[in-house]
Chains A and B, each alone.
Chain A
Amino acid sequence: EAGVAQSPRYKIIEKRQSVAFWCNPISGHATLYWYQQILGQGPKLLIQFQNNGVVDDSQLPKDRFSAERLKGVDSTLKIQPAKLEDSAVYLCASSLDLSQPQHFGDGTRLSIL
């Protein structure tokens, strides 16, 4: 079974630039998550999709972050404009259904200069 695919693995940008991350979940997984993980902390949920609908985006900084999951499969997360504090690893995860165990992709390490 193919795992969760994410790209790119690494990204370096300057503050105020924009960046986008892509995620393809495990086939058949209805629920998709985007997390932000800052060094030394646990993953923080940014947004959770069930198929192509948003279940929870309460911790998504909507003035600069946006995410979509068209057709209920793959998803993109965008940051525009980036701030220094956005430097983190962005993890995508998927699960069969809500509150089921999640499977994580390898993540995208974002550095803001």
Chain B
Amino acid sequence: QKEVEQNSGPLSVPEGAIASLNCTYSDRGSQSFFWYRQYSGKSPELIMSIYSNGDKEDGRFTAQLNKASQYVSLLIRDSQPSDSATYLCAPSAGRASKIIFGSGTRLSIRP
């Protein structure tokens, strides 16, 4: 079992719709969860972090965390063509623990 699992995609979503990206992780000790966006040929950039169960909203982005189910998701509302990228899920077990990156989900927003 991989430490961090994401559907590789591509996930195709119409412009203006909600894109839902999912991630499961194996380490029950994970405390911090990060979502990174990576455009083709570019380096990852942090878009969301979440540390406690529930939802966290930032603009069009909402991160959802369920530690009991070892599941974290990212919702993108009103999807735009500029959201087309690979989204990397990255949990961390806390201080002195490395952040493990998933392989990413490729998202494509179609006009």
Contact = CB atoms under 8 A, between A and B. Distances in A.
Contacts of A43: 44, 88, 101
A91 B36 CA distance: 14
**How big is chain A's contact interface, by range?**
20 to 34
Contact of A45 (B45, B93, B98): B98
A97 B32 CA distance: 13
A103 B95 contact: no
B98 A56 contact: yes
A61 interface: no
A99 B46 contact: no
Contact of B98 (A48, A91, A106): A48
A41 B4 CA distance: 12
Contacts of B31: 99
Contacts of B16: none
Given A105-B43, A106-B43, A99 B92 contact: yes
Interface in B22-47: 31-32, 34, 42-46
A104 B98 contact: no
Contacts of B8: 40
Interface of B: 4, 8, 31-32, 34, 42-46, 49, 88, 92-104
16 contacts: A41-B103, A42-B102, A43-B88, A45-B98, A48-B98, A91-B44, A99-B92, A99-B95, A99-B97, A99-B99, A101-B49, A102-B99, A103-B46, A104-B43, A106-B43, A107-B43
